[in-house]
Amino acid sequence: MTTIPAQIQDDADLVETTLESILKDLAKGPAPKLVEAMSYSVLGGGKRIRAALVLGAARLVMNGPENEGVCRVAAAYECLHAYSLIHDDLPAMDNADTRRGRPSCHMAFDEATAILAGDALQTLAFDLLAGPATHADGAIRAGLVGDLARASGAAGMAGGQMLDLEAETRPFSLDETRSMQALKTGALIRAATVSGGRVGGASPDHLAALDGFASRLGLAFQIADDILDRKADAATLGKPSGQDDNAGKASYVGIFGMEGAEAEASRLIAEAGDILTKSVTKTSPQLDYMLDLSTFIIRREY
Amino acid sequence: MTTIPAQIQDDADLVETTLESILKDLAKGPAPKLVEAMSYSVLGGGKRIRAALVLGAARLVMNGPENEGVCRVAAAYECLHAYSLIHDDLPAMDNADTRRGRPSCHMAFDEATAILAGDALQTLAFDLLAGPATHADGAIRAGLVGDLARASGAAGMAGGQMLDLEAETRPFSLDETRSMQALKTGALIRAATVSGGRVGGASPDHLAALDGFASRLGLAFQIADDILDRKADAATLGKPSGQDDNAGKASYVGIFGMEGAEAEASRLIAEAGDILTKSVTKTSPQLDYMLDLSTFIIRREY
C-alpha cells in the first residue's frame, strides 16, 4: 500500500478533529446512543478523500489556509459519505458484515440503529452546510446545500445505487456501468470539489474549472476502483482476473485490459491537472496539493 | 371520521399538485424506478397536516395568498415526513406491511428500494428548501434548511425514533414518553410552522409566536394520537382501554384517563390559539384558518 502523503494525512486529521467536536456536542442532546452509532461510523478512519478535495479546492481559491467554515463543509461531505456506507452495508443492500476491517454499523449496533444513524448523518451533513458558522453569506450556504443535495439524491448518488440494484437483474453495457458509477461516486467527488471552491469564494469561472477537474478525477477514481477490484480478486480471492462478482456489469478492465485501464486513468488525471493549472495565474503550493491529491487518488493502493 | 374542512382539503390538493410536478421532473432523470417508489409513498394521500401548517403560517404572515416558494416548502415537509414513514415501516423498525390501507413501500417494491426511496426523499426535502425558486434571499433559504435539519436529525425526529427503540427495552415515565414524542412528531410540526412563517417573511417576534403556537399544538397532537390509539384498540382490536401495544411506555390516557387527556388537549389548543391571536393586530381569514387547523388536528378522528 502506498503511504498517504503528509498533507493528505494532515487533512484527514483535521476533518477527524472537526467531526469529533461536532459529534461531542450532539451527544449532549437527547439521543446519545444514536450519536454513538453515528460516531462509530463517521470517525476513526478512511482516507477522507472527499474532505481533502473540499479543503484543497477551498485553499486553492483562497490562496491560503482554510477557515472553520471550510472544515465544516469538509465534515459535511464525510457525514454524507458515511451515511451512504452504513445504508449500503445493510442486509437488504450489500449485506456487508465488516467495513474497514471492523464490524459494520448494523453488526456493531443493530439494524434499526444503523438505519437511523445513516438517516441522521445525512441530516447532519445538511445542518452543517446551512449553519451560520459555515459562511457569512446565506446564498453561499444555500448553494452548498444545493450542491450536496443534487449530488446525493435521486439524480445523483441514490439514483446510482438504484441503478446498481438494477444491474443485478440484467447485463449493463460499459456506458451504463459508467453512468451508474458516475452517479454513485463521481457526483459526490465533483460536488465536494465545487463546494470547496464555493465556500472559498470562487468565481463562476473558477467553479467551472474545479468541476471540469473533478469530473475527470471522478472517472479516473472509478477506473482505479475497477483495477483495485481485479487485483484484489486475483490476489486474495484467487479468482482469475477479469471476472467480477457481478458478471452482468461491464468494467473498464474487462473491456480494455489492466494496462489499457491504467493508461486511461493516467490520461484522465493529466487532463484534470491541465484544466486546473490553466484556471490559475501561477503555480502555488495549493495547486500542487490538488495535483498530488488527484495522483494519489488513482494510485491509492498500487 | 370528521370530514376534512374545505380549506385543509384545498391545501392538501395544492401540495399534491406541487409534489406531482416535482416528481415528474425527477422521473426524467437517471433513476425513474427510484422516483416511482418515492412517488408511491409521498403522493396520493394523507391529511397533509405539515403542509397545511406551512401554508397557513406563511399566509398569516403574508396576509394574503401563498406563492410558489411557500408551496415548495410545504412539499419539502411532506417529503421529509414520507421518508420517515417509509423507514419506520421497514422490517427492522416497525415491520409494518401496510400504510394508509395499502402495501407499505418495502412491500410494494422491495426493502433495498424502500431504504433508497426514503433516503432520496430526505435529500429532496433539503434540495427543495435550498433551491433559488423557494426564496430570493439565500439567508432565508439557508434558515429553512436549518429549521428542517434541526427538527429531523439526531436532536429531533431521528433522536426521537431512537428513544422509541429504547422504550422497548425499559419502562418510560410520562416525562420520558413526552420528550420522546416531542422529538418524534412535535419537532417537525414546530419546524413546519416556523418555516412557513420564515418563507412568508415573518419578523423574529412573529416567528416566536408561531413557535409558541406550534409547540402547544405538537403536544396536543401527541395527546390526540394517544386517545386515538386507545379508541382504536378498544374498538377494533378488542383490547381493554388503557393497555398499549407497548406496555413500557407511559401514556396520557393511561395516567389521566380519557376525559383528562381530552381536556388537556383542548386546553393546549386554546393556549396555542391565544398565543397566535395576540401576535396579530387584527383577526383575518388567515388567522381563522390557523385556529381551525389546530382544532382539526386534535379532533381529526373523533
ipTM (interface pTM)? 0.94
Joined together, the cell numbers standing for residue A154 give 435521486
Better-scored residue on pLDDT, A35 or B300 = A35
Pick among B72, B94, B126 to test the A interface (most A CBs inside 10 A): B126
Whether residue B237 is predicted with pLDDT greater than 60 in this model: the reply is: no
User: What integer pLDDT is reported at residue A243 of this predicted model?
Assistant: 41
More confident residue, B256 or A206: A206
Model pLDDT for residues B131-140, shown as the tens digit of each residue: 999 999 999 9
pLDDT at residue B238 above 80? Answer: no
H or E element at residue A103: strand A102-103
Q: Which residue of B has its CA nearest to A115?
A: B87
Q: CB-based burial of residue A47 (10 Å sphere; 0-12 exposed, 13-18 middle, 19+ buried)?
A: middle
A301 lies in some domain = no
Check residue B185 and report its DSSP letter: I
Q: Mean pLDDT score of chain B, rounded to an integer?
A: 92
Q: Are A278 and A289 in contact (CB under 8 A)?
A: no
pLDDT digits (tens, 9 = 90+) for B26-69: 999 999 999 999 999 999 778 899 999 999 999 999 988 999 99
Whether A42 maps to a domain, the answer reads: yes
- SS3 call for B102: strand
Handedness of CA B283, B286, B290, B296 (dihedral sign): positive
Q: Is B302 a member of any domain?
A: no
Which CA distances in Å does B28 have to A6, A78, A149, B34?
Answer: 44, 29, 17, 11
DSSP-derived letter for residue B5 is P
CATH number at residue A183: 1.10.600.10
Chain B residues closer than 8 Å to A31 by CB? 154-155, 158-160, 162-163, 183
C-beta atoms of A116 and B155 within 8 A: no
What is the grid cell recorded at A105? Answer: 454499523
Q: Whole-prediction pTM value?
A: 0.95
Which pLDDT score, from 0 to 100, does residue A64 have? 85
CA A161 to chain centroid: 14
Cα-flanking dihedrals φ and ψ of residue A98, to 5°? -125, 160
Higher-pLDDT residue of B227 and B118 is B118
Q: Do B142 and A146 make contact, defined as CB atoms within 8 angstroms?
A: no
- What pLDDT does A265 receive? 94
Task: Name the residue facing A154 among B124, B131, B138 (closest C-beta).
Answer: B124
Query: Looking at CA atoms only, how far is residue A34 from chain B in angstroms?
Result: 6
Terminal-residue alpha carbon distance, chain A? 6
* Cα torsion angle, B242, B246, B251, B255, sign: positive
Whether A266 maps to a domain, the answer reads yes
Count chain A–chain B contacts defined by CB atoms under 8 A.
186
* Structural domain contains residue A299: no
Residue type, A231: K
Residue A300 forms part of a structural domain: no
Question: Which residue of B115, B131, B160 is in closest CB contact with A90?
Answer: B115
Q: Are A242 and A210 in contact (CB under 8 A)?
A: no
Stretch B239-266: mean pLDDT, rounded?
74
Concatenate the DSSP letters of all residues of B156-172 into one string. THHHHHHHHHHTTTS-B
CB contact under 8 A, A149 and B123: yes
Asked if residue B214 belongs to a domain, the reply is yes
Cβ atoms A127, A141 nearer than 8 A: no
User: Mean pLDDT over residues B156-175, rounded?
Assistant: 92
Interface with chain B: mutation pick from A145, A148, A150, A183, highest number of B CBs within 10 Å: A145
Q: Does a structural domain hold residue B80?
A: yes
When scoring B107, B123, B135 by the number of chain A Cβ atoms within 10 A, the one with the most, hence best to mutate, is B123
Pick the residue with more confidence: A277 or B168? Answer: A277
pLDDT at B245: 47
Q: Number of folded domains in chain A?
A: 1
User: Which of A42, A113, A115 is best to mutate for the B interface (most B CBs within 10 A)?
Assistant: A115
Yes or no: say if A286 and A58 are a contact pair by the CB < 8 Å rule.
no
Q: B264 to chain A nearest CA, in Å?
A: 25
Alpha helices (H) in chain A, listed in sequence order? 6-27, 32-42, 49-62, 68-89, 105-108, 111-130, 138-152, 157-166, 174-181, 187-199, 204-232, 252-278, 285-299
Is the pLDDT at B213 greater than 80? The verdict is: yes
Ranges under pLDDT 70 in chain A: 1-3, 236-247, 300-302
What is residue A174's predicted lDDT score, i.e. its pLDDT? 85
Span B97-119, mean pLDDT? 97
Interface contact A154-B31, CB threshold 8 A: yes
In this prediction, residue A63 carries a pLDDT of 85
Q: Is residue B239 very low, low, confident or very high in pLDDT (cuts 50, 70, 90)? A: very low
Interface contact flag, B145 A126, Cβ < 8 Å: yes
Q: Find the mean pLDDT for residues B93-104.
A: 95
- Domain extent, residue B63, equals 6-296
User: Residue A301 has what pLDDT?
Assistant: 58
Higher pLDDT pick, B89 / A174? B89
Q: Measure in Å the smallest separation between the Cα of B116 and chain A Cα atoms.
A: 6
